[in-house]
């Protein structure tokens, strides 16, 4: 290789290093590594931060797969998801405990049954937290992020087009529309799938401007609002199921736990009715076009 060729190659590598996708990946990778290390504490806020950081990384990898196509992306996605899934049950238990504490502190009757459920959840939480911390300690986020960066840098086109980013956003919009239509006709499983589609779309929308694609702020507001509403319904349904299981374990408290379960169920159904009414009007479906 001649000196001039080496200079040109070096200039191309430097230009590629400044590509928006690689810049965004570096920033999100740093955040993901920090979040995973912090989540090894097992604290609720740290576990939640890891799940957010993972979703943001997955959204960027979706863009990377479009801008730097390769058959290796699915394996890297599985690596990213592994710590995310390992802390899912811990997050569910922590969320249920927080909601039960709010109900207890608000004076919701019957207080004795609420406290008994809290005591049972605390025991489950301790066991799950220890297990999750051990699993997260074995994770190697730096290696995963390095492999993602290397693949993106190797496969990225010299002049990546924002058209591919907009195509990703359009696919996410279509997935949200389809999931919302199914949600109107289905039960909790359909609602959960809609929530997953909306979260994926929301994080892509948040990251797209850094890659040169414009997003309508109104769309992002709708996605965030809907994610929050569906998240509250999902948390309530998890708690309702946990209350039912607790009643089976403690027959003596079945009547009191039944009252709690019905109260949770009423709130869940009211929230769900409002969301489905909005879906029927088309208020929650992301509008076409990228602005």
Per-residue pLDDT of the chain (291 residues; tens, 9 = 90+): 344 433 333 333 544 667 888 999 999 999 999 999 999 999 999 999 999 999 999 999 999 998 888 999 999 999 999 999 999 999 999 999 999 999 888 887 688 888 888 988 999 999 999 999 999 999 999 999 999 999 999 988 766 667 888 899 999 999 998 998 898 888 889 999 999 999 999 999 999 999 888 889 998 998 999 999 999 999 999 999 999 888 888 888 888 889 889 999 999 999 999 888 877 665 554 443 333
At 15 the pLDDT is: 44
At 29 the pLDDT is: 96
Q: Which two tokens stand for residue 73?
A: 């992306």
Cα Dmax for the chain? 85
Cα gap 215→209, rounded to integer Å: 7
CB neighbour list of residue 18: distance below 8 Å, 6 or more residues apart:
none
CB of 180 closer than 8 Å to CB of 83: no
CB neighbour list of residue 103: distance below 8 Å, 6 or more residues apart:
114, 260
pTM for this one? Answer: 0.85
At 164 the pLDDT is: 85
At 278 the pLDDT is: 77
Interior angle at CA 252, CA 246 and CA 253, nearest 5: 50
Measured in whole angstroms, the distance separating CA 134 from the mean position of its chain's CA atoms is 22
Q: In 3D, which of 246, 266, 244, 256 has the Cα closest to residue 110?
A: 256
Among left, alpha and beta (phi > 0; psi -120 to 50; other), residue 222 is: alpha
Cα gap 129→41, rounded to integer Å: 9
Q: In the chain, where are the structural domains located?
A: 1-160, 161-291
Cα gap 191→66, rounded to integer Å: 28
At 23 the pLDDT is: 92
CB of 92 closer than 8 Å to CB of 239: no
At 16 the pLDDT is: 62
């Amino acid at each position: 290789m001649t000196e001039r060729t080496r200079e040109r190659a070096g200039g191309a590598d430097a230009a590629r290093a400044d590509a928006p996708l690689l810049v965004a990946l570096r920033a999100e990778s740093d955040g993901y590594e920090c979040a995973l290390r912090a989540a090894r504490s097992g604290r609720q806020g740290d576990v939640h931060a890891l799940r957010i950081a993972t979703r943001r990384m997955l959204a960027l990898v979706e863009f990377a797969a479009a801008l730097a196509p390769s058959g290796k992306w699915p394996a890297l996605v599985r690596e990213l998801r592994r710590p995310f899934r390992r802390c899912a049950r811990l997050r569910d238990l922590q969320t249920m405990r927080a909601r039960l504490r709010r109900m207890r502190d608000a004076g919701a009757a019957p207080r004795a049954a609420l406290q008994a459920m809290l005591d049972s959840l605390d025991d489950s939480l301790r066991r799950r937290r220890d297990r999750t911390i051990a699993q997260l300690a074995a994770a190697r986020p730096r290696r995963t992020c390095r492999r993602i960066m290397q693949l993106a840098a190797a496969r990225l086109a010299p002049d990546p087009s924002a058209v591919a980013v907009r195509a990703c956003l359009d696919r996410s919009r279509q997935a949200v529309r389809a999931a919302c239509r199914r949600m109107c006709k289905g039960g909790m499983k359909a609602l959960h799938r809609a929530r997953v589609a909306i979260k994926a779309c929301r994080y892509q929308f948040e990251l797209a401007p850094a890659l040169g694609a414009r997003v309508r702020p109104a769309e992002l507001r709708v996605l965030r609002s809907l994610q929050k509403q569906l998240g509250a319904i999902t948390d309530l349904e998890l708690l309702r199921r946990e209350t039912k299981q607790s009643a089976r374990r403690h027959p003596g408290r079945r009547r009191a736990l039944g009252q709690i379960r019905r109260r949770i169920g009423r709130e869940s159904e009211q929230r769900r009715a409002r969301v489905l009414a909005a879906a029927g009007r088309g208020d929650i479906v992301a509008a076409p076009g990228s602005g």
